[in-house]
Amino acid sequence: MVLDVAPAAAFLAAMVAERLGAATRIGDRMPEALALSGLIAAALAVRRTFPLAAYLVGTAALSAEALFVLPSPVSPYANLLGLYSLGLRGTRAWARLGPVIALLGMVAYFSGVARTYQLMPAAVLFVWLLVWALGYGSARKQEEQAAARRALRDQVVAEERVRIARELHDLVGHTLNVLLVQAGAARRLLDRDPEQTRGLLSTMEHTGRQALEELDRVLGLLRQEEPGTLPGLAHLASLTERMELAGIRVTARVDPDVHQAPRPLDLSAYRIVQEALTNTVKHGRASRAEVSVRCDGAAVHVEVQDDGVGVGGGYVPGRGLRGIAERVRELGGSVEHGAGEWGGFRLHAVLPIRVPGSPILGSPAAVAP
């Protein structure tokens, strides 16, 4: 309201003062002069809300003032502010009418002042168009900035959705596959060994509770809450225990220096191992697997291999392997997978270690998986 009314009130006061000062020359046309000054000020007051209409009314009043009353040295500046507002606030189509209206108004205005003022219409028109161009250019720059902000926001939202979807896939896929294997074992042992079956069911309950707790932490990201303590390589022992309960003997070797790695890298390394072992349970039909996580100072190497059925020629990576590739790509690393030394499947991921201030540690993605 202040930005709209204050300039209009200031110009109205200046125009009225100038009109009263020129009363002898205006004569009996004073009521029309004051009315036109009020009309120009009123148009100026609504220039941000109705930029095209305001400039049309202001230009018409200014032209009428020059043609039928007496040109004012103040009112053209009020109209100039209206032209700037049209370029800045009007839509693209409406704003482009500004130069046309300015030209028509200039012709009418100088038709009334040609015998009174020695002005150069071309120079004045250039100034008017320059002011309009400043407003129009500012508006287009604001549009570009707003579009860039929307694109950035959409990109961040899309990346977060992919990240959360990947977390849910890794968590739910791993847990369900382990539970299915344990449920199958319990079904086969139900009649022969009830005590061992009871142990398997208890393990399934424990695995399910752990999965629910981790699922709640991941879903906390959707609620914009603190994500809590998400798993990392320090939880690898618990992961291998669940795999052994599913019938796969897992040997894990973790370089102590790896635990000093940045949090995003630690989480990604854990998820890579988790997904690789899940594939071992789901597809590999393996009896043993080996996990190796080592650090060479520049990168963390994650390697998982099993003695399962391996891969046939021309195999196509599934959703889990694509998720691993996305994780590795976000960290600027590389991944390879295929036939292993034991005849089964082998996966090897290289995750570069970034220094503080890098995109990984300095970006919003560093605080959420």
Q: Torsions phi, psi of 2, nearest 5?
A: -65, -45
- Average of per-residue pLDDT across 293-307: 90
Nearest to 269 by CA among 179, 341, 349, 155: 349
| Domains observed in the chain | 2-119 (no CATH), 150-367 (3.30.565.10)
**Given pLDDT bands bounded at 50, 70 and 90, which one contains residue 362?**
very low
**Given pLDDT bands bounded at 50, 70 and 90, which one contains residue 221?**
low
Structural contact between residues 128 and 106, judged by C-beta atoms closer than 8 angstroms: yes
**Given pLDDT bands bounded at 50, 70 and 90, which one contains residue 54?**
very high
> Residues 115-118: contacts with CB within 8 Å, 24+ apart?
116/71, 117/71
pTM (two decimals):
0.48
Whether pLDDT at 139 is above 70: yes
Pick from 68-77, 153-162, 303-312: least confident = 153-162
CA 206 – CA 240 distance, rounded (Å):
14
Q: Which helix (H) or strand (E) holds 150?
A: helix 121-189
